[in-house]
């Protein structure tokens, strides 16, 4: 009860002169917020007898939820996979610049790299709240190096790894401290991957399946061990086949643990994924769709030669 009373006493903020998306149309309406929650103004007035404590004029701008990008490799000339003495300043630059693109939080993503890069970079990217200074950092997304050689894509083959006998110890030796890590993408068909998935999940780290030649059974077993995400669906994995749909089949699998939800990232740029494929995935499992940019350091720059990793 005390929590409800404290909330009722919290200041109410009213956004005026703004446009809000409702029913696929932009409407001019005010928005009332208290402690991050949108309020019903009628209930506020008639039940609490309250008016706004503060008003902010939006100048006719669109008021919308911020975009959360869980896979972004860099931007504006900054490559998160490049080890330097001041990685934090590069992350801060990207965080500041992507605000104008509607991104309010993100996972800086590292492509496959040698251990010395992880050991130097990861401690320099702490979790950080967002604000006027830039988008928030939710934690690092480690994409590799424990992925398939056949589906490595742009990842450098020389630095790919498999799991050794003491698999999770090998993970710690490769990455170093995992304190700032939020997501790890791995290929579930690799030997000893199941014990690694369990260990990562026990530490609160999201395990994503990707850059993989796994069949559906291997993917289902990975989910049963705790994996909950798919990295850029359709890209860098076996194509859908009616006899064995592979990782894609997780969207409609009936062999997942009760209550376990699968989410999947998709690069909806019309190139990495055909719009028809995007619609198929969304209609099969709409609640799991997570849009990602998979942006590279060339984001925001002009034509030219750019690096990744």
Residues 27 and 18: their CA atoms lie apart, in Å, by: 8
Q: ∠136-142-144 over CA atoms, to 5°?
A: 160
The partner residues of 83 in beta bridges, in order of sequence, read none
Look at phi and psi of residue 159 and say left if phi exceeds 0, alpha if psi is from -120 to 50, else beta: alpha
Q: Are 177 and 123 in contact (CB under 8 A)?
A: yes
Q: Indicate if 215 belongs to the active site.
A: no
Q: What are phi and psi of 45, to 5 degrees?
A: -75, -50
How far is Cα 40 from Cα 36, in angstroms, rounded to an integer? 13
Residue 289's CB: how many other CB atoms inside 10 A? 17
Q: Catalytic residue, from 69, 79, 215, 294: name it.
A: 294
Q: Which residues are catalytic?
A: 294
């Amino acid at each position: 009860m005390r929590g409800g009373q404290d909330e009722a006493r919290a200041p109410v903020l009213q956004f005026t002169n703004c446009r809000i998306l409702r029913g696929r149309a932009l409407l001019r309406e005010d928005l009332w917020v208290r402690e991050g929650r949108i309020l019903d103004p009628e209930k506020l007035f008639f039940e609490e007898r309250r008016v706004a404590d503060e008003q902010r004029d939006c100048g006719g701008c669109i008021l919308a939820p911020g975009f959360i990008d869980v896979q972004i490799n860099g931007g504006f000339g900054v490559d998160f996979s490049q080890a330097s003495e001041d990685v934090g300043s590069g992350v801060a630059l990207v965080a500041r610049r992507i605000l104008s693109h509607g991104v309010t939080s993100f996972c800086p993503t590292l492509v496959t790299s040698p251990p010395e890069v992880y050991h130097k970079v990861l401690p320099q990217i702490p979790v950080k709240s967002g604000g006027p200074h830039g988008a928030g950092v939710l934690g690092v997304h480690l994409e590799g190096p424990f992925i398939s050689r056949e589906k490595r894509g742009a990842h450098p083959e020389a630095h790919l790894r498999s799991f050794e006998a003491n698999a999770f110890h090998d993970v710690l030796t490769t990455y170093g401290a995992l304190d700032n890590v939020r997501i790890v993408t791995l290929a579930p068909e690799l030997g000893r991957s199941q014990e690694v998935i369990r260990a990562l999940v026990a530490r609160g780290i999201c395990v994503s399946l990707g850059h993989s030649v796994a069949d559906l059974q291997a993917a289902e077993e990975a989910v049963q061990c705790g994996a909950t995400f798919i990295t850029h669906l359709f890209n860098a994995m076996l194509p859908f086949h009616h006899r064995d749909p592979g990782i894609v089949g997780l969207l409609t699998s009936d062999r997942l643990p009760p209550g376990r939800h699968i989410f999947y990232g998709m690069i909806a740029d019309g190139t990495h994924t055909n719009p028809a494929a995007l619609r198929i995935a969304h209609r099969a499992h709409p609640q799991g769709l997570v849009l990602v940019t998979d942006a590279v350091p060339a984001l925001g720059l002009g034509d030219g030669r750019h690096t990744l990793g």
